[in-house]
């Protein structure tokens, strides 16, 4: 194609309002996902593991919100995101990281909406501590203490640090329960 014809095509495309409408759609769809990528990439001061599950959930929610009146328009994009998440990204480690994140654990509405994450945590415990039944039992027993903020989890310092510290840091010092969190980080980052 001669250069002049190509230039004319480009100019016509850029001046077409449909082109710019599609650009707006693309930005509305990708912006929440870029936030997730920044978390995964480590652009934040917090470890990603305890936040990936929540970040992808919030990105889906934000994308749906942005297209409330045009749900059919966004469905193909959400299907792609869901497919990638389900097939390639979503692991029990993400569920465990979410469940062990005190920022979410003590938000009753948040945990009610994502109560299935306990299955991922139990899968991780069973997989890595299957041979050591004493430790496995101790970890599963401590889950109720963690969930209900009993014992050391109910101490003033533990409560005040829930939203300040990265997931697992203060709790790791408190209980052997966080051994699971260490394993999640170690295995996932390899």
Residue range of the domain that includes 172: 91-190
Number of separate domains in the chain:
2
Q: Are residues 82 and 7 in the same domain?
A: yes
Which of 116-125, 150-159, 181-190 shows the lowest per-residue confidence on average (mean pLDDT)?
A: 181-190
Q: Are residues 120 and 62 in the same domain?
A: no
Q: Are residues 13 and 69 in the same domain?
A: yes
**Token output for 179:** 């051994």
Q: Are residues 70 and 97 in the same domain?
A: no
- Mean pLDDT score, 4-22: 86
Q: Are residues 81 and 114 in the same domain?
A: no
Q: Are residues 100 and 166 in the same domain?
A: yes
Read off the pTM.
0.64
């Amino acid at each position: 194609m001669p250069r002049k014809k190509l230039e004319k095509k480009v100019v016509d495309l850029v001046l077409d309002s449909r082109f710019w409408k599609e650009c707006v759609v693309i930005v509305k769809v990708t912006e929440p996902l870029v936030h997730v990528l920044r978390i995964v990439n480590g652009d934040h001061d917090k470890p990603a593991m305890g936040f990936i599950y929540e970040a992808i959930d919030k990105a889906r929610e934000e994308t749906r919100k942005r297209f409330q009146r045009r749900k059919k328009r966004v469905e193909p994009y959400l299907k792609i995101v869901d497919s990638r998440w389900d097939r390639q990204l979503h692991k029990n480690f993400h569920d465990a990281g979410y469940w062990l994140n005190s920022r979410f654990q003590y938000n009753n509405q948040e945990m009610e909406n994502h109560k299935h994450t306990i299955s991922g945590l139990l899968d991780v415990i069973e997989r890595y501590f299957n041979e050591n039944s004493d430790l496995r039992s101790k970890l599963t027993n401590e889950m109720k203490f963690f969930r209900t903020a009993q014992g050391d989890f109910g101490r003033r310092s533990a409560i005040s640090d829930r939203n300040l510290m990265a997931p697992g840091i203060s709790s790791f010092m408190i209980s052997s329960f966080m051994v699971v969190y260490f394993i999640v980080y170690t295995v996932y980052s390899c």
